[in-house]
Structure 1
Amino acid sequence: MTNANEKMNFLVSNAKANVNLAAVCFQLIKSAPVDERPKLLEDFFVGYKSTPTTGELKLPITISDEEEHKYMIRYGKLVDTHMEELQKQNLSEKDFYAQLWTFICESPVLPNDKARIIALFDCAIDKRLPYFKLDRDRVLSMENEEYQDICKQIGDDTFAKLEFILNGDFDQKTEQASLVVQMMDKMPDYTQRCVFLTRIIAHYKHELLRMHLKMSVDALADD
Structure 2
Amino acid sequence: MPTFANGNTLDEHVWNARGDVVELTLQPRPDWGTVVRVLGYVNQARMGIYRDASAKAKQTGQTPDIRQDDHPGRIKWGGGLNIEQPLADAGETGAFLRLGYDDGKTESFAFTEVDRLASVGVQLSGGHWGRPADRLGIAYALDGLSPEHRHYLEQGGAGFVLGDGRLTYGLERILEVYYNWRLLRYVHVSPDYEYIENPGYNRDRGPAHVFGLRVRVSF
| TM-score (norm: length of structure 1) | 0.20
Which of 1 and 2 has higher RCO (CA within 8 Å, sep 6+)? 1
Structure number having the greater strand percentage: 2
